[in-house]
Amino acid sequence: HSQADGENLPHVKLAPSNADFAFKLYKQIRDESGDRNIFFSPLSISAAFTMLALGARSNTLRELYEGLAFNLTQMGEQQIHEGFQHILQLLNDPQREVQLNMGNALFVNNKVEFLQTFMDHVKKFYYAEAVSSNFQNPEAIKEINKYVETKTHGKFVDLVKNLDPETMMVLINYVFFKGSWKRPFHSYSTRDDDFFLDAKNSVRVQMMYQKNHFNVHRDEKLSCWVVEIPYKGNVTSLFILPDEGTMKQVEDALLKETVSKWLSSLKEREIYLYLPKFSVSSSYDLESLFKKMGVTEVFSNQADLSGVAKNLPLTVSKAIHKATVDVRENGTEASAVTRMEISMMSMIFPPPPRITFNKPFLMMVIDQLTDGVLFLGKIVNPT
């Protein structure tokens, strides 16, 4: 459909706010994680807290929307929830060629009597469930973990480690993604190689290789390479390789404007691409991160969540997010199609650049149907 039709769709309107939130949260996580790998799903965290906003009132509500980068003067609440409904529908579509499982669950103290409208809206807009739990019972943790394990097909085990018996409400947000590259790497090209953690230390990784046409951009101002590696099924990824010593300046420049500029500057060219195989899984306690972004009330005794339940004052005791990524050859679908393009012009063209992800890099996974930032991460050590 034409661009103009698209702009009025509710989920398209959410994209700028969700992107602002993504990069704002990234910077908070970076400041907390030192030199550790980072990997999270901004979109699913936005969805979880916007879902919570269904039951929040007064200042608690205002803080949530501000923290999530929504401007209520430009967009009504109804529009926001409908936007997420649409996004989640498109993402979890079983017909898509990517396997994406995104979900939210609220576990609430069993003394709480839910308001029916809240239950209905959580289900309708967020395909989520609110589950009564007895947190006094040590089995409660098992029950929550079992729930998440089932929902993620056994990918996430033992998500919740400990719970205070005084717990009122636990927000669990999980996302599991499995995509296949449009152009798989061949496993026979994968070799052991060095990945440089810093100037002095390196680790051995399995380095995948392919010579192919990719959308590439060299950002001279920020001193980094940007390579787009598309998945099947309308999902694409950007791998960003800062030159030695420039990671911090690239991270500081991570804003939706920068990423838009990268996307519009991409040009197709042939490259020698080296990318390590890696598998990263991270969990975050969202409370401390959100508090740093000014969202404090919902976690405190001042919380106004009177839209969730009438009979008890509620507060969010724990909010956990977990995300995981596996990057490998996807050799299972290794295509048997060989591109034979014999060109007589080859003498004139500069040789293809060699882009080797053998030092810390950034990665983004973008859903092209909704412009949503599905994942954002920094791979400091792929092993």
Instruction: Give the pLDDT confidence score for residue 334 in this predicted structure.
Output: 35
Q: Give 183-193 pLDDT, tens digit per residue.
A: 999 888 999 99
Give, in order, the Cα–Cα distances in Å from 381 to each of 207, 280, 360.
13, 9, 7
User: What distance in Å separates the CA atoms of residue 200 and residue 195, rounded to the nearest whole number?
Assistant: 11
Residues 28, 69 share a domain: yes
Domain extent at residue 84: 3-179+280-326
The residue-averaged pLDDT of 145-166 equals 86
Instruction: Give the pLDDT confidence score for residue 294 in this predicted structure.
Output: 95
Residues 271, 127 share a domain: no
Establish if 339 belongs to a structural domain. Answer: no
Residues 372, 300 share a domain: no
Establish if 84 belongs to a structural domain. Answer: yes
Q: Is the pTM of this model over 0.75?
A: yes
Establish if 337 belongs to a structural domain. Answer: no
Residues 301, 222 share a domain: no
Instruction: Give the pLDDT confidence score for residue 6 in this predicted structure.
Output: 56
Residues 241, 139 share a domain: no
Residues 258, 245 share a domain: yes
Instruction: Give the pLDDT confidence score for residue 239 in this predicted structure.
Output: 98
Q: Looking at residue 112, which CATH number applies to its domain?
A: 3.30.497.10
Residues 113, 19 share a domain: yes
Instruction: Give the pLDDT confidence score for residue 102 in this predicted structure.
Output: 84
Residues 256, 164 share a domain: no
Mapping DSSP onto H, E and C, the string for the chain reads CCHHHHHCCHHHHHHHHHHHHHHHHHHHHHHHHCCCCEEECHHHHHHHHHHHHCCCCHHHHHHHHHHCCCCCCCCCHHHHHHHHHHHHHHHCCCCCCCEEEEEEEEEEECCCCECHHHHHHHHHHHCCEEEEECCCCCHHHHHHHHHHHHHCCCCCCCCCCCCCCCCCEEEEEEEEEECCECCCCCHHHCEEEEEECCCCCEEEEEEEEEEEEEEEEEECCCCEEEEEEEECCCEEEEEEEECCCCHHHHHHCCCHHHHHHHHHHCEEEEEEEEEECEEEEEEEEHHHHHHHCCCCHHHCCCCCCCCCECCCCCCCCEEEEEEEEEECCCHHHCCCCCCCCCCHHHHCCCCCCEEECCCCEEEEEEECCCCEEEEEEEECCCC
Residues 173, 103 share a domain: yes
Number of folded domains in the chain? Answer: 2
The residue-averaged pLDDT of 115-130 equals 93
Pick the closest to residue 13 from 65, 64, 66, 86 (CA basis).
86
Establish if 299 belongs to a structural domain. Answer: yes
Q: Looking at residue 232, which CATH number applies to its domain?
A: 2.30.39.10
Establish if 128 belongs to a structural domain. Answer: yes
| The pLDDT of residue 343 is above 90 | no
Residues 81, 161 share a domain: yes
Establish if 341 belongs to a structural domain. Answer: no
| The pLDDT of residue 336 is above 50 | no
Residues 197, 69 share a domain: no
Establish if 333 belongs to a structural domain. Answer: no
Residues 85, 171 share a domain: yes
| The pLDDT of residue 1 is above 50 | no
Establish if 212 belongs to a structural domain. Answer: yes
